[in-house]
A and B are shown apart, each in its own frame.
Chain A
């Protein structure tokens, strides 16, 4: 089976940097994705790591270590609009995508 663990809640100050960690156990692994979901909205794709290392997209970066079954999402220069839930998701065997339970990020002034 597959399981993903994330912290349930994180609070950070506007303008700061926050890191959201994800550890996973999976029977097959192609890569790790990150999604953002605002209350009442649909999940939207942020990033995907298939190989070890850091991927940067604007204020957001994502890191993967396949040997440690670990990844993180790094959000820089936090803005109030970044308050949302963030999910890591594993692309596994047979292209099944399994999501974590999510991290609720609250950005405070």
Chain B
């Protein structure tokens, strides 16, 4: 097991385009989280899955953001009609169902919107 992997690691796009990020969690982990992080700030919660069920989505997100985890394994985060303010690092993390308080993070997908 190589840990949480995210793809792509870097994405540069023009304003108005759609982008999609993929996250492959650690295989036995049934919880999956998406965060957004900008320079000098902490990870900002976006959404969370337990298996294939999306349990919570941040009110900070507009309808341009959507996430799926169709079979309870990998997940995708799509941003439609990107804006310059969407430029950030998008982090995925996974964890076991037991409350150990430990999230395992991927290396992130850095988005730059021109």
Contacts and interface: CB of A to CB of B under 8 A. Distances in A.
Interface of A: 30-33, 35, 41-45, 48-50, 87, 89, 91, 94-102, 104
Interface string B84-102: 0000000101000001111
Contacts of A50: 99, 101
B50 interface: yes
* Residue among B56, B91, B105 with most chain A CB within 10 A: B105
Contact of B99 (A30, A42, A99): A30
A42 B101 contact: no
B107 interface: yes
Contacts of A96: 45, 48, 55-56
Contacts, number: 67
Chain B interface residue bracket vs A:
20 to 34
A87 B101 CA distance: 13
Interface stretch (B13-21, B35-43, B61-69): B35-43
A33 to B, nearest CB: 4
Given A42-B105, A50-B101, A95 B31 contact: yes
